[in-house]
Amino acid sequence: MSFTFQNKDFHISRYPKTSLNSLKAWNAADELTLNYLEENKLLNSNISIYHDRFGFLTTLLADRDITSVILFKSQEKAIWQNLSDNSIPHESIKYAYPLDKIEKHIDTAIIKIPKSADLFELYLQQLSQSINEQSIVIGSFMTKYFNKSMIEIAEKYFGDITQSKAHKKARLLILKHPKPYKERSLIKEIKYKDEISFKQYFGVFSAKNIDYATQFFMEHLSISEKDDKIMDLGSGNGVLAWKARELNRTAKINLLDDNYLAIESSKLNMGEGACFYHFNDDLSHITNNSYDLVISNPPFHFEHENNIEVSLNLFSQVAKILKPKGSFQLVGNKHLNYKTHLSKIFKTIEVVAENDKFVVYHCLKKG
């Protein structure tokens, strides 16, 4: 889709592509942010951009002095795709990860406020190391997603917090006069069966407890001594990989997640050298016919969107990386009816457990 900014036309698309035509790569909150930057003459300042999932703001502001903070591998790919589509050199952009301290002073920061309040706090905590009294932070959101926790969190870090007028059902939080930097822990600890503690960074899925679907799956996970090479797909904090290692101590465990903080959380729980980690959103870099077993609680929540297209694409890729007679074990919400889709890809699909909410499937590769 096309968007015009400062008399220049940009072609911006989502990555990964979607068949849902109602989903765009930007929203009214992004447009409101650009208007604010123009009206307040902030376009020539040093800008850092957070949570720009499809690279819309990064692409439009690429000719400025910007740093784009990468949380998702799919976000990085979206930015590269949109830069290429608009003939913008990739080296125009400086990149950082959410746990990095940005050494260069930040004049203006833009945060597309995420659904996770914890993640919003992580962004502000990291920002607070690189801003001073004159810095401005612009937080954008759609009004229907407003939560008072946004204000409560912002008040920990800033003395001056104002809201803009609504525009197309979007608003901005304007944060000024940052409070002195105070070191705070960005790691949470959650219990499994009141016995084992798992650590994870703020903003990783299921921050209060081990996800209930995952807990149900762990009760029915079946791993044999022959499962020498195992992939935890969409690994989160690594709890499924941990269970797999408990069931087969000699297996080579791999963990893959689109979320940088999830991968870093997995390392807290599994160890830096004990496993193989893949910060990626797909399996295209994995050798075909190379895994005995893939286990997964696949994603279908993406911020405020529910979309199983990503999971269905991953299912097809799983079939490629499995060895002949390899197994795919997964859990899904009952209403998603994964069996219909899995039956088109795998030789056999067995429902090994189900309750009112979740279903555990075991799938065998065709051929």
Q: Where are the alpha helices (DSSP H) in 70-159?
A: 73-85, 117-127, 148-157
124 and 218 co-located in one domain: no
Mean pLDDT, rounded, for 124-150: 96
255 and 325 co-located in one domain: yes
For 27, the domain range is: 2-178
235 and 360 co-located in one domain: yes
With H, G, I as helix, E, B as strand and everything else as coil, classify residue 316: helix
293 and 265 co-located in one domain: yes
* Res 342: pLDDT: 97
Kindly state whether residue 51 falls inside one of the protein's structural domains: yes
* Res 156: pLDDT: 97
262 and 137 co-located in one domain: no
* Res 308: pLDDT: 85
* pLDDT at 366 > cutoff 80: no
Number of structural domains the chain divides into: 2
* Res 272: pLDDT: 82
Kindly state whether residue 100 falls inside one of the protein's structural domains: yes
Lowest-confidence pick of 28-37, 74-83, 191-200, 243-252:
191-200
Lowest-confidence pick of 106-120, 169-183, 184-198:
184-198
Location of structure tokens 């830096």: 272
Mean pLDDT, rounded, for 237-258: 96
Say how far apart CA 158 and CA 19 lie, in whole Å. 41
Q: How far is CA 187 from CA 99, 100, 256, 327, in A?
A: 11, 15, 20, 34
Pairing of strands 2-5, 8-11: antiparallel
Mean pLDDT, rounded, for 114-140: 97
Kindly state whether residue 284 falls inside one of the protein's structural domains: yes
171 and 199 co-located in one domain: no
Domain of residue 206, CATH code:
3.40.50.150
pLDDT digits (tens, 9 = 90+) for 300-345: 767 777 778 999 999 999 999 999 999 999 999 999 999 999 999 9
More confident residue, 91 or 301: 91
Mean pLDDT, rounded, for 219-227: 96
Q: What is the mean pLDDT of the chain?
A: 95
End position of a domain, from candidates 116, 149, 178: 178
355 and 264 co-located in one domain: yes
Mean pLDDT, rounded, for 286-302: 92
Kindly state whether residue 309 falls inside one of the protein's structural domains: yes
194 and 339 co-located in one domain: yes
202 and 341 co-located in one domain: yes
249 CB burial (10 A radius; 0-12, 13-18, 19+): exposed
Tell me which residue of 145, 148, 149, 99 sits closest to 122, measured CA to CA: 99
End position of a domain, from candidates 158, 178, 198: 178
Three-point CA angle 203, 209, 214, nearest 5°: 95
Kindly state whether residue 183 falls inside one of the protein's structural domains: no
Query: Binning pLDDT at 50, 70 and 90, where does residue 55 land?
Result: very high
Query: Binning pLDDT at 50, 70 and 90, where does residue 18 land?
Result: confident
Mean pLDDT, rounded, for 345-357: 96
Kindly state whether residue 283 falls inside one of the protein's structural domains: yes
* Res 367: pLDDT: 66
Query: Binning pLDDT at 50, 70 and 90, where does residue 80 land?
Result: very high
pTM for this structure? 0.96
222 and 360 co-located in one domain: yes
Say how far apart CA 328 and CA 114 lie, in whole Å. 32
End position of a domain, from candidates 140, 159, 178: 178
* pLDDT at 72 > cutoff 90: yes
Calculate what percentage of the chain has a pLDDT beyond 90: 89
195 and 332 co-located in one domain: yes
